[in-house]
Amino acid sequence: MFEFDLGKAVAEVRKRKAKLVAVQIPEGMKTRLPAMLEKLEGKTGAEAFAFVDPCFGACGLKDVASKELGADLLIHFGHTKFVAKEAVETVYIPVEYNPDKRAVSRLAESLAEQMEKKGFKKIGLCSTIQFRQHLRIVEAEMKKRGFGVFVGKGRNVEKGQVLGCNYTSVKAIGKKIDAIAFVGDGLFHPIGLSFAVNKLVFLVDPIEKEVQELALQRDLFLRKRIAMIEKARQAKSFAIWVSTKKGQQRLALARNLKKKFEQRGKKAFVFTSNLLAPDYVLGIGVEAIVSTACPRIALDDSSLYGKPVINPAEARVVLGEKKLEDYEFEDLS
């Protein structure tokens, strides 16, 4: 179960003597908002309000809007600091998945067995912030079993933390390890990892309670992306999308890509919005989309758009600047 530390939020509001508090919470937890706001107000005497725009990462931080609305404190649940300076005083409170220590130890045992079968001795570990406690347990268990364990420190992230747009903590240890294990759920991050370090990736999944090697999924993913790139090659017109979210405002890149498409006789237009959603492009008559925003849009959600959606690295293949063999996973770090 995902848990957030409301006690910490209460303490921070009291400590800072905040009067009007803005709150942000990850998408899947909104059902808990009324109870949370009620408690926060009841225990601090401050007034609180919550943003309900979808929030998938700290790139969606609402510091500017909080300031404009007159809040003197923003409490951002779920993610870690992403920007150098916020427009309003901001407290980050990660949301974490409570570990079942025994179950995680069993996962580590299974990881160790799979490593041994491959003859691997050195493992790199990483996770999203939601599973950092699980990572520590796996780290201790693997060390206990005699493996060399490496947990890297990347740029603008905690030790061992990865984001879908930032794998620097893994790149930092890439040369020292035989394989890498991602502790968490879903395929998006571990597939990204497999391109970031080009090592065998294991998914240690505390929710499904299984450990799996992802070589096949990586191949399948690559085949899908190649098909998407081939479709985009046939397109005569492109929307190049720029998100206004933090860390994603890649207008210079979009303008550059537009020029290159035009030089090759294609039509290209730059569009911008905060969130990129299929509805937004329904009526826009282009044949393909280049998303310069969060990598997840092109890689996880592209089937929802009814037209090819590629990222800038893939656009370079379409433009003939890069070969398919040098496929790269888009990384905004």
Residue (58 or 257) nearer to ligand SF4, CB: 58
What is the rounded distance in angstroms from the CA atom of residue 223 to the CA atom of residue 16?
A: 52
Output the smallest distance, CB 58 to ligand SF4, in A.
6
Output the smallest distance, CB 69 to ligand SF4, in A.
22
- Indicate the SS3 state at residue 318: helix
Residue (171 or 296) nearer to ligand SF4, CB: 296
Tokens (6 digits) for 189:
């991050």
Output the smallest distance, CB 76 to ligand SF4, in A.
12
Residue (37 or 65) nearer to ligand SF4, CB: 65
Contacting residues toward ligand SF4, per CB under 6 A:
56-59, 163-165, 248, 294, 296
Tokens (6 digits) for 326:
């040098």
Residue (222 or 332) nearer to ligand SF4, CB: 332
Residue (56 or 271) nearer to ligand SF4, CB: 56
Tokens (6 digits) for 159:
């030790």
Output the smallest distance, CB 15 to ligand SF4, in A.
27
Tell which residue, 5, 183, 14, 1, has the closest CA to residue 92: 5
Residue (85 or 102) nearer to ligand SF4, CB: 85
Output the smallest distance, CB 278 to ligand SF4, in A.
17
Output the smallest distance, CB 33 to ligand SF4, in A.
20
DSSP 134-175: HHHHHHHHHHHTT-EEE----TTS-TTB-BTTB-HHHHTTGG
Nearest residue to the partner ligand SF4, using Cβ = 57
- Residues sharing a CB contact under 8 Å with residue 120, sequence separation 6 or more, in sequence order: 178, 179, 200
CA distances (Å), origin 292, targets 72, 108, 156, 247: 32, 37, 20, 11
What is the rounded distance in angstroms from the CA atom of residue 192 to the CA atom of residue 328?
A: 9
Do 272 and 255 contact (CB within 8 A), yes or no? Answer: no
The helix or strand, by DSSP H or E, that contains position 117, with its residue range, turns out to be helix 101-118
